[in-house]
Structure 1
Amino acid sequence: MELLTFINDHGLPVVGLRRGDEIIDLSPCVSDLLSLIDGGSAALEQVRAYAEGATTTLPLAGVRLLAPIPVPRRNVMCVGKNYAAHTRESYEARGEAVEAIDYPVIFTKTTTCVNGPYDDIPYDAAVSEQIDYEAELAVIIGRRVKNATRDEAMAAVFGYTVLNDVTARDLQTLHKQFFKGKSLDGSCPMGPWIVTADAVPDPYALRITCRVNGQLRQDSAAETMTFDIPTIIGHLSRGMTLLPGDIIATGTPSGVGFAMKPPVFLRPGDVVECAIEGIGVIRNRVAGGE
């Protein structure tokens, strides 16, 4: 299933199920996606049954989509340097010796940075002039899990979505850590929907790409994750309970702007398109290009 959040005719965010170019409004049987995830397999079966009997649909093109989980319960959890080529380009761009990564590099993005799949990315030159993109596969946790084994970790995955880990590189450098530079308002476009885990037999086979103004910048076709999904969940859940609805961004392949020679950062008017085969495409314009 492809589950999303959209704005209805009354201006309220409601849950929908995508089928091709149409949406089935699920608001009669579920209030929001977090509640659906909380409900586990029983809630999913209820949604399936409702959708099969639905006789009314909405055109997908006629509604505004929000991030599937517009207001997460907790910060978005992220893995840095999880593709070898991106790790190498990051060290080299900073003139540093490449170091082996023995454990996942973990950081978070605030809930206020979550943005819609087609909404503008805010740009304020007084805050940062080094805004960069990072196309990523995001994992949505579907059940409480702690100290997860590999099997338990994968069983805890509710689904997958597309995420752009927009980053202020100058702030990242100034503060000598990831949190501030990763957490500007609107710096986490997500969506356009969550594809449930049962519909994604092999998440590692999903090609991740990023285009800026139509130019291909990132392409994971020849790259693989250093730490796979059950390893990431295993490390995160060690001594720390993961909750239904938690969002985990699994890292970005090579090709980011700050590692280009010379570096190329996003500017007002640029359009960033992050796509994952089998899931979907998010497309966000950098605000201020009028």
Structure 2
Amino acid sequence: MRGMLEDGGIEAGAKAVTGAKRIPLDGLHYAPLLPDTDMIYCVGLNYAKHIAEMGREMPQYAALFPRTPRSQIGHNEPMILPRVSDKLDYEGELAFVIGKGGRYISEDKALDHVAGYSCYNDGSLRDFQRHTHQFLPGKNFWGTGAFGPWLVTPDEFGDVASHSVTTRLNGQVMQNAGFDDFLFTVPYLISYISSFTELLPGDVVITGTPGGVGTARKPPVYMKVGDVVEIEIDGIGVLRNTIVSEADVKVPGEA
């Protein structure tokens, strides 16, 4: 995907696969949509209801933090509950992918830089997230960022504000919100991020999660081994993952 974006974009990629043999989806192993992206920008607070439930003030600027590509998994892949925490929370989000890079991109030109949209579950270890004011530890555990299953181009997706995201945990709706509730729109985020760094083809921006997260519920609801979490965005589809224990998988880098 990244190579296609760097070598001419979605249109060139579509021409390259014209007439290619179709492969049945059943039985496929899904990788994260962009496993080798240079940068994943996450928006911390972007819905009024979520900000209220977390007890925070309305931000003047977008709160941004990074997620590492190696923390990602694909559709139908196991989401990992680590051995050092039992507070794994779901966060259903809209992700968009940069197709054309740039610096100091104006809001009125920003959507020309979007290659497409996808689903994201920004799985968060809430205790590690709150160790300090920096979110990075709780947002970068291995196997906690689900991304996919595919990219929907802007011409097919249409107006972002006309769509919505729903998160289900074991079939129960936990989050549901329209993107018309964004504090910071896609054009704003592109313009703001490109004001302090160069956006590159294949960069990913995750636009934040709405109200209904598990940690804000009374009592809190965290994902457990055997749970199934689904992120559905109308116009894109469903991203589905099952929670497994870290003890049941091989952890990269572990001695």
Structure-2-length-normalised TM-score: 0.92
- Residues 215-224 or 189-198, more deviating: 215-224
Q: Look up the equivalent residue of 1:90 and give its one-letter code.
A: M
Q: Look up the equivalent residue of 1:40 and give its one-letter code.
A: G
Q: Which one scores higher on RCO, CA 8 angstroms, separation ≥ 6?
A: 2
5 Å matches for 1:23-102?
33-41=1-9, 44-54=10-20, 56-74=21-39, 76-91=40-55, 98-102=56-60
Tell me how far 1:223 sits from its aligned partner: 6.0
Secondary structure class of the residue paired with 1:129: coil
Tell me how far 1:129 sits from its aligned partner: 1.4
Tell me how far 1:163 sits from its aligned partner: 0.3
Q: How many residues align?
A: 247
1:244 aligns with 2:210: no
Any idea what the Cα deviations from partners look like across 1:65-98, whole Å, max 9, x if unmatched?
A: 1111122223x1111110000000011xxxxxx4
Distance 2:202 2:162 in 1: 24
CA spacing shift, 1:222–1:246, aligned 2, 3 Å:
closer
Q: What RMSD over aligned residues (CA atoms) do the two structures have, in Å?
A: 1.7
Any idea what the Cα deviations from partners look like across 1:174-207, whole Å, max 9, x if unmatched?
A: 1332111000001110000011122121112221
- Residues 113-122 or 45-54, more deviating: 45-54
Distance 2:36 2:220 in 1: 33
Tell me how far 1:261 sits from its aligned partner: 0.7
2:109 to 152, 163, 176: 152
**Matched-pair identity in %:** 37
1:264 aligns with 2:229: no
2:78 to 105, 111, 120: 120
1:186 aligns with 2:104: no
Any idea what the Cα deviations from partners look like across 1:96-137, whole Å, max 9, x if unmatched?
A: xx4121110111111211111111111123x21111010000
5 Å matches for 1:90-239?
90-91=54-55, 98-125=56-83, 127-221=84-178, 224-239=181-196
Query: 8 Å contact 1:83–1:223 — kept in the other structure?
Result: no
CA spacing shift, 1:215–1:52, aligned 2, 3 Å:
same
Distance 1:222 1:196 in 2: 17
Structure with the greater alpha carbon radius of gyration: 1
Distance 1:179 1:46 in 2: 36
